[in-house]
Structure 1
Amino acid sequence: MHIKLKKQVEWYLYHYQDIKGAVLQARLDPVKKKAGGGWIQDPTGQEAVSNITPLREVYIVDGKARIHIDYPERLVEAVESCECELNAVLRELCERKYYGKQRSINCMVAMGLTRDVYYAAINELLQIMSLYMVEHRVLKISKK
């Protein structure tokens, strides 16, 4: 796996919980949106259109930086789809390392994995996750 692609996938996984929270918060916020070139007079209809319209962006805070995420629901869908297909070891590894932000050694000890098995599992997880992210148009593969 190319190192740049690996870093991108890892970044998304480390920030997945923040992005998912930002998506949920954006969906809960009452926002006046336009649809079809005119204002919708019916508040129920307005809410329905708002709920089915994909979010174009959210912002998360990483340290002191405010980071812009385009089409965040694509990422959430990609990760959730991938998680459904992962075996128990890869799912637990993802939860511990990326969502729980545990150190590698702590993951290895808690899961009873050798170093070689741990890094092979991480590589497999990242490869599978990258395929789902490409499928959901989170990542783009270029010929460069």
Structure 2
Amino acid sequence: MIFRVATRRDLPAVLALLADEDQVLDPASMPVGAEHERAFAAIESDARNEMLVLTDAEADGTVLGCLQLTYIPGLGQGGQERALVEAVRVRADRRGEGLGAELMRLAAERARGRGCGLIQLTSSKRRTAAHRFYERLGFARSHEGFKLPLERP
């Protein structure tokens, strides 16, 4: 397995993982719109954001998992940064092999190496299997999350 920063070439595979977590979609069938291109370019050019992928070195670099890390500066915790984990996905046909745990371990290692004092995430209330997964990794349900959708102008 190879854990690395995603490149533009990985974008269709990442979109396939995010589009449907219950089945494997062909990345070649994923429409990559201008909004995806803008978002990826913004992540790629921002020193506080990283889209990371886990690839199979033996299968032509097939993307098996992904996540986004955002580093947030703060005054709490002695001024240490915290890492926010978003968009965690592992290919449906490769779950149960420890890839998700490895992806999260590597993300935590990366955040720790940057000096982060905390790694945090939110997960949809309906993703109960994901909640059990995060708890097995040592994440605690310490806060309640709130979201407010904003209307587009």
* TM-score, with length taken from structure 1: 0.26
Task: Give 1 or 2: higher helix fraction.
Answer: 1
Instruction: Mark the structure with the bigger radius of gyration.
Output: 1
